[in-house]
Chains A and B, each alone.
Chain A
Amino acid sequence: MSAPSIVAENLTKRYGSFTALSNLNLKIEGSKCVGFLGPNGAGKTTTLKIFTDMIRASEGRALINGVDVHLNKKKALGSVGALIESPEIYPALTPREALSMVADLRGLPRAEAKKKIEEIVAEVKMNEWLDKKVGKFSKGMKQRINIAAALLSDPEVIMLDEPTTGLDPRGQSEVRDIVKDLKKKNRLVFMSSHLLNEVQEICDEVAMIDHGKLIVYDTLSNVTTRFSSTGSNTVEIEFSRDIDEQSANRNIASLTSVSSVDRIDSRKVRIHFSGGIQNQERLLLDLATMKIGMISFRPAASALEDTYLNLIKDTL
């Protein structure tokens, strides 16, 4: 069976003399999470809207699993769950009814739909509101139902346009956990976001876009290695027990490719290292072998932020 894929071929969108998207070429394939980054008006939502046939491309093609979205929308979106901007649901419907409508439109058998609705609503923590009218919901509650609707049919390709918009910090964290789970289920997630730490935490790859043009598309570590002004990668390590400065400097700083170690607090250090993904893998292995109580290892948000600020010069 072929891997899920999203392909943009010379995708261009013009509104009169304004070009919102210019010759976007992007091929994303496999089970992963790709963060789609860029400033306001860069063309992120425009791209996602073309991929869901909400708008038409002026030129080029948008393909999902090899099917042109505009020419055969029904087939192309059959395996796609999408959340574009913040949709409104008919206010007189309850989440159960709104999700049943989606289930019916997507051909879920009645019994499966009933079970799946209850599961997905529990996952977005809205089970107590399942039979209340949507019209009374807050923005964040509606967004949770929208996320549930996008995931209801177990789509293999998931497109999310700033999915944590309107959610409180707990809600944002829950959505991040949901996306992480999707990766485990072999889904392809294409997600636009302004939140760099969010992308850093859950995405494997990033595509950056500015003024309608793709600037870079690569793995997170390759992008930060190539474009971060520090010239090195940075990871943040957390320990289950206190670690003193001397031990951090003596043991960790001596590892291959490590250029410096900063102690953030008694249980956290920031490690700067040179090289690419291979060195990062080696570093993780070495730290694990040292058995010094490491409980988390993740690229520092600052590396992506630094990269973003280097590549994206304007805010609009």
Chain B
Amino acid sequence: MTQPASPNLTDMKKRVLPSGISQVGTITKYELVNYFRSRRFFVLLIIGLIISGLLTALVGYYRPSSFLASPLSFYSTWWAGSITFVIILSGIFYGGDAISGEFQNKTGYFLVANPLRRSSIYIGKWLGAFTASIVMLGVFAAITIANGIYYFGLNIPNQLWESLLFAVLYLIAVLGFTFFFSSLFKSTSMSILVTAILFLFAFTLIQTLVERLVKIEAWFLITYGAQIITNVLIDPYPTTMTQGFGRDAFTSYAATIPEGIAILLAYFVVTAVLGLFLFERREFT
């Protein structure tokens, strides 16, 4: 029954499969092509431009003193006030359905039956979402800095670069988290909704309740760690302070830079491992 192999078959057997890293690069490349042609990329870009445009117009027209007192206060108010929102939106838009979409939309069936590890798909898609989000962050940062240069010249405080680095770290953690939730659900709308509720409302609410009622430091919340993006632009750097006495005492907590970095890194590592584990285990039923 068995026939001799054709030359084609021999050639095919000689072919060496690309390394895992190379396959990750391939997934990232086509994920980006898909993102940059998608409506959601332009929607998010427009949202970023609207936020930047409104701030540019309002500051230019009203010239508020809180903005224009010093370069640090300018960047602290402009950048720190909006960047976490931009990062969360990027996380929701790019990470919310990144994995669940592979199941619900059946695009995973096209990829998974190929000779590549699921981890390559997960990491490739994560890198795609990260790169697309970095573009958003870059656009927002460029507009912020352009405005800063307009008002204060090239006097850009070093703290801004630190804040930018922390923002990238926060983006990494947020995408780790959103990918984890995306792996948890098979429905794209569910994963997007849960991620949006958590980042836009739940974490802030929990942090307030924990700090005000339980009176403990909310070190276990990603949003608490993300405070370093804002805090680094405040001079002096805020510290944990207690005001009042006895039952009326109120403590405002502030994560130190090492604490913030540790929280964000821990969130990324834990959620990335869990998300990858879930994706490896999930079945295309």
Contacts and interface: CB of A to CB of B under 8 A. Distances in A.
Interface of A: 1, 3, 15, 29-32, 49, 52-56, 73-80, 82-93, 97-98, 101-102, 104-108, 133, 146, 149, 153-156, 185-187
SS class, residues of chain B in contact with chain A: loop
B10 interface: yes
Given A31-B3, A52-B113, A154-B12, A105 B23 contact: yes
B30 A101 contact: yes
10 contacts: A15-B285, A52-B112, A54-B283, A74-B17, A77-B115, A84-B284, A105-B116, A106-B114, A107-B18, A186-B4
Given A56-B283, A97-B33, A88 B5 contact: no
B237 interface: no
B74 to A, nearest CB: 39
Contact of A90 (B4, B34, B113, B115): B34
Interface in B18-51: 18, 22-23, 26-27, 29-30, 33-34, 37-38
Interface stretch (B103-111, B130-138, B166-174, B192-200): B103-111
Contacts of B37: 92, 133
B243 interface: no
B247 interface: no
A153 B15 contact: yes
A156 B113 contact: no
Interface of B: 1-6, 8-13, 15-18, 22-23, 26-27, 29-30, 33-34, 37-38, 105-117, 283-285
Contact of B106 (A29, A88, A187): A88
A3 B34 contact: no
Contacts of A54: 109, 112-113, 283-284
Nearest to B105: A88
B179 to A, nearest CB: 17
Contact of A106 (B13, B38, B115): B115
B17 A87 contact: no
Contacts of B4: 186
B110 A75 contact: no
Contacts of B109: 54, 84-88
B64 to A, nearest CB: 42
A153 B12 contact: yes
B12 A30 contact: no
A97 B29 CA distance: 10
A219 to B, nearest CB: 9
Sort A-B residue pairs by CB-CB distance and give the 9 closest, nearest first: A87-B109, A92-B37, A87-B110, A54-B284, A77-B115, A30-B2, A82-B113, A3-B2, A55-B283
B9 A156 contact: yes
Contacts of B30: 90, 93, 97-98, 101
A92 B38 contact: yes
B33 A78 contact: no
B113 A84 contact: yes
Contacts of A84: 109, 113, 284
Given A74-B115, A80-B115, A89 B8 contact: no
A186 B285 contact: no
Contacts of B33: 92-93, 97
B3 A107 contact: no
A74 B116 contact: yes
B2 A29 contact: yes
A187 B114 CA distance: 18
Listed residue (A15, A30, A101) with the most chain B CB atoms within 10 angstroms of its CB: A101
A18 to B, nearest CB: 12
Q: Which of B18, B113, B117 has the most CB of A within 10 A?
A: B113
Nearest to B23: A105
A55 to B, nearest CB: 4
